[in-house]
């Protein structure tokens, strides 16, 4: 059965770093675009970053709010994607989700797909 599982969240002070991981079981997604989203309390879920499939060059895309601070990457196994988050701010506090698209491309900083498969999320809390 195909599943996505995020990990790496936690509590960190402003200016600190965390690295989130998204691991797929039952599927390798190196040819698919995959993105990170977040949802803060009382707010809608928003896209944060997307990386295209390896056949499309693994191109990275970022929302303006995280550009220069977050880095998305894949590992060579084809079933893990990371989100390195540096210089964290209190406004980065949210539940972070990875989402896999059916297609290899990103539309801006979200996977360009009418169907996304989601992980269960991991909490990131940044204190001031």
Helix, strand or coil for residue 92?
A: helix
Strand partners of residue 122: 96
Measured CA to CA, the distance from residue 53 to residue 95 in angstroms comes to: 24
pLDDT at 77 over 90: no
Mean pLDDT of 73-86: 90
Q: What's the pLDDT score for residue 80? A: 93
With contact defined as beta carbons under 8 Å apart, do 117 and 99 qualify? yes
Find, among 28, 27, 26, 49, the residue nearest to 110 by Cα: 49
Mean pLDDT of 100-105: 93
Helix, strand or coil for residue 27?
A: coil
Looking at every residue in the chain, the average pLDDT score rounds to: 94
Strand partners of residue 61: 50
Find, among 100, 93, 61, the residue nearest to 78 by Cα: 100
């Amino acid at each position: 059965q195909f599943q996505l599982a995020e990990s790496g969240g936690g509590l960190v002070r402003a200016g600190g770093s965390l690295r989130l991981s998204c691991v797929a079981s039952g599927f390798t997604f190196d040819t698919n675009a995959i993105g990170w989203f977040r949802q803060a309390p009382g707010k809608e879920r928003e896209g944060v970053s997307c990386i295209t499939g390896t056949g499309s060059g693994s191109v990275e895309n970022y929302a303006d709010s995280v550009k220069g601070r977050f880095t998305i990457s894949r590992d060579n196994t084809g079933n893990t994607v990371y989100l390195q988050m540096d210089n964290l701010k209190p406004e980065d506090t949210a539940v972070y989700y990875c989402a896999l698209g059916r297609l290899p491309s990103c539309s801006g900083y979200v996977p360009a797909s009418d169907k996304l498969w989601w992980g269960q999320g991991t909490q990131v809390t940044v204190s001031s």
